[in-house]
């Protein structure tokens, strides 16, 4: 649609696209407040989980499985926090969002990326909503490459 | 299991049980910081969404659909915030949780329950994690009855 940002993504907007399935796209999130944070976005407009059809729901599970395994294998994540909120879009009188789900990997022990260690200071507790951004652009690129490599290997 | 609270629920613990399916139980949450807050819990021990099997995933979708419809029809909710976090259990060295998902209905306009109106002051924004408890015991009972009645009608 003409006015929808997600329907009109540029190549630059897609630079952290990790995977595209029939119904969803998985991205490494721009906002790396938790190392490895990702976002899954439905390719069509859809305002709630209950409006996903059966094929989309099954497709979503393959992404859930792959993402958790990727975070565990690449980063050593102990668990992932999943949240489907959609709040921002409902500020509008005519909300017309793409369904999206945030994934925050959580780490009991500090994660090593490059030569830096990042600790998850709230491990065992609810994620902080307005946390600081942890990664430099180079670290983002490195993480994206590691994730991409993992996915390529898994989907071979 | 012997030491698991959820495996050993009393009749009183289950007083707000709304629905039991093959693999899950849906409860009206004790903590009504958002009116209509519910929780879905897997009947077996399961530590992450990716470890749900195909039958469980399909079963979960029927609960997602019913819960969102119930919150819309009974309370007029505009949307539901879904979150699967599991943080608390991972404080343990040997986490052995039941998978559980929190559902917070969100309301643009105040919700009427009994003769009281409750407003969702953060509508359009992330839920507050430590909000106040809104409902009295009588209001909890009323809400539970309304939800139960809706589910009975839907599943007839």
Of B70, B71, B87, which to mutate for an interface test with A (greatest number of A Cβ within 10 Å)? B87
**Looking at the DSSP assignment, which residues form a beta bridge with residue B40?**
B26, B101
- Nearest C-alpha of chain A: how many angstroms from B117? 21
Please check whether residue A107 is in contact with residue A79, taking contact to mean a CB–CB distance below 8 angstroms.
Answer: no
Contact state of A49 with B57 under an 8 Å Cβ cutoff: no
| Beta strands, E only, chain B | 17-20, 24-28, 38-45, 79-84, 98-106, 111-113, 116-118
**Residue A131 scores a pLDDT above 90:** no
| Partner-chain residue, chosen from A49, A65, A125, that has the shortest CB–CB distance to B50 | A65
**Residue B130 scores a pLDDT above 80:** no
Residues contacting residue B121 through CB under 8 Å, at least 6 positions apart: none
Q: Which helix (H) or strand (E) holds A55?
A: helix A54-70
Mean predicted confidence (pLDDT) in A31-40: 96
- Nearest C-alpha of chain B: how many angstroms from A23? 17
Confidence of residue A132 (pLDDT cuts 50, 70, 90): confident
pTM (predicted TM-score): 0.96
Residues contacting residue B155 through CB under 8 Å, at least 6 positions apart: B19
| Partner-chain residue, chosen from B47, B52, B65, that has the shortest CB–CB distance to A50 | B65
User: What secondary structure letter does DSSP report for A10?
Assistant: -
- pLDDT score recorded for residue B156: 83
Mean predicted confidence (pLDDT) in A44-66: 98
């Amino acid at each position: 649609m003409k006015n929808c940002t997600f329907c009109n993504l540029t190549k630059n907007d897609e630079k952290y696209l990790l995977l595209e399935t029939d119904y969803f796209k998985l991205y490494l999130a721009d906002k790396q407040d938790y190392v490895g944070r990702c976002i899954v976005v439905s390719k069509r407009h859809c305002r709630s989980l209950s409006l996903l059809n059966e094929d989309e729901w099954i497709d979503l599970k393959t992404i859930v499985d792959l993402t958790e395994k990727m975070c565990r294998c690449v980063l050593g994540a102990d668990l992932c926090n999943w949240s489907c909120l959609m709040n921002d879009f409902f500020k509008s009188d005519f909300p017309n969002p793409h369904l999206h789900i945030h994934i925050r990997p959580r780490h009991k022990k500090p994660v090593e990326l490059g030569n830096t260690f990042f600790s998850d200071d709230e491990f065992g507790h609810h994620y902080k909503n307005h946390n600081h951004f942890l990664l430099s652009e180079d670290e983002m690129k490195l993480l994206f490459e590691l994730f991409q490599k993992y996915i390529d290997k898994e989907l071979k």
